[in-house]
Amino acid sequence: MVTIKTEKEIALIRESSRLVADVLRLLGKQITPGIATKLLDDLAEDFIRSSGGIPAFKGYGSDRRNLFPASICVSIDNEVVHGIPGTRVLKEGEIVSVDVGVLKNGFFGDGASTFPVGKVSEGKARLIQVTREALDKGVGQAVEGNHLHDISFAVQQHVEAAGFSVVRDLVGHGIGKELHEEPAVPNYGKPKTGMKLKEGMALAIEPMVNFGDYEVRTAADGWTILTADNEPSAHFEHTVIVRKGKAEILTQ
């Protein structure tokens, strides 16, 4: 069921989302060749907990034998999302997507950014730029009176016009008291379809864009999603509130 948030609830989501944005800014300054992804995870967890939050991803999952073991997702090059931080060291020329979720005062915030590691190829730099622009296009449609798939179409149209592809097996989502709520927010679709958007809906809009084909596969760890063709992928995400006229971005 899709819930309309009260202004009091939105204020609490805003607080969690602000922490998400702060973590992404903090980690963005640390992403350089030679840093281990586990260090990024440690920095994120320390910051979140010292700010009164709880890392939303740590211990997440439906399979109790394989719960997510880290506080953030760190996905490198051909890793689309859900990469597990560890001993791997970032190398010059890679791109790295960082996904952060925070629970504070009973409400969640969720966001992601993709960063270059040192100097990257022109193609990777363009992939990052187009994915960031696609997020902006999607957010621009998150206004009362529009349809849910107006967001999806805006993302898909921008990405495919640039020669890239949107991942279809993974979607954005509603957010609030749960990290993942209804509705699902795909990154492809037909305009003027899907539910009508109403003010107060909280959505996590998150284009996942592949350099090559849109097909993906799951790694042996049960979490990391990889491009099927091993081409790079980028990921950006904002938690937003549907408003009249213009969406409110909470993870700014």
200 falls within a domain: yes
pLDDT value of position 226: 98
Tell me, yes or no, whether 73 lies in a domain.
yes
Residue 1 is assigned to a structural domain of this protein = no
Residue 32: per-residue pLDDT? 98
Number of folded domains in the chain? 1
Cα–Cα distance for residue pair 153/116, rounded to 1 Å: 27
pLDDT-derived band of residue 136, with 50, 70 and 90 as boundaries?
A: very high
The pTM of the full predicted model, rounded to 2 decimals, is 0.97
Predicted pLDDT of residue 217 = 98
Mean pLDDT over 224-251 rounds to 98
Domain assignment of residue 134, yes or no: yes
Q: What are φ and ψ of residue 24, in 5° steps?
A: -65, -40
The torsion of the CA quartet 26, 128, 141, 179, rounded to 10 degrees, works out to -50
Closest listed residue to residue 211, CA positions, set 234, 177, 182: 234
Q: What is the mean pLDDT of residues 94-116?
A: 98
Q: Is residue 70 part of a domain?
A: yes
Please give the residue range of the domain that contains residue 44: 7-249
In the predicted model, what is the mean pLDDT of the chain?
98
Residue with tokens 């394989």: 66
Q: How confident is the model over 69-104, as pLDDT tens digits?
A: 999 999 999 999 999 999 999 999 999 999 999 999
Tell me what pLDDT residue 166 has.
98
What DSSP letter does each residue of 51-79 carry, written as one string?
Answer: TT-EESSTT-SS-TTS---SSEEEEETTE
pLDDT band at 59, cuts 50/70/90? very high
Q: What is the CATH number of the domain that holds 221?
A: 3.90.230.10
Cross-strand pairs, 196: 147
Instruction: Tell me if 192 is assigned to some domain.
Output: yes
> Is residue 195 included in any domain, yes or no?
yes
User: Does a structural domain hold residue 2?
Assistant: no
Instruction: Give the residue-averaged pLDDT of 190-209.
Output: 98
Helix (H, G, I), strand (E, B) or coil at 106: coil
